[in-house]
Amino acid sequence: MDMHKLFTEHPASIGETYGEHLVHASYFGGRMMLAGIACMLHALLPFLCVRTGSQAIEELNAKMLARSRLAASRAPTPHPPVSESHSPPTYHRVRAR
């Protein structure tokens, strides 16, 4: 497989360049690691970081959904090929019984 394609295929599939994907994925990974540390601290001391993990999940989920919608809105709309012999569909009236 082409080395360039290995680094660009997935980012392109979600409407990003390699650099944009690097920044966004790094942010998400760092945020999840910090939330994981907070959850471990909460496991040891239940009165600390009571909502930190769930807030991080909610925040990251909202960001991911917003980015997915943005990528979908940027995606080109496929158009079916039109040939010269193409004619509009014919509809037939159905008789009621």
Q: Let me know: does 22 contact 82? Beta carbons within 8 Å.
A: no
Contact 83/66 with Cβ under 8 angstroms? Answer: no
Q: Give this prediction's pTM.
A: 0.67
Is the pLDDT at 26 greater than 60? The verdict is yes
Structure confidence at residue 50 (pLDDT):
96
Q: Which two tokens stand for residue 96?
A: 């009621």
User: In this predicted structure, what is the pLDDT of residue 89?
Assistant: 55
10: tokens are 């997935």
Residue 29 has pLDDT above 80, yes or no: yes
Q: pLDDT by residue (tens digit) across 31-60? A: 999 999 999 999 999 999 999 999 999 999
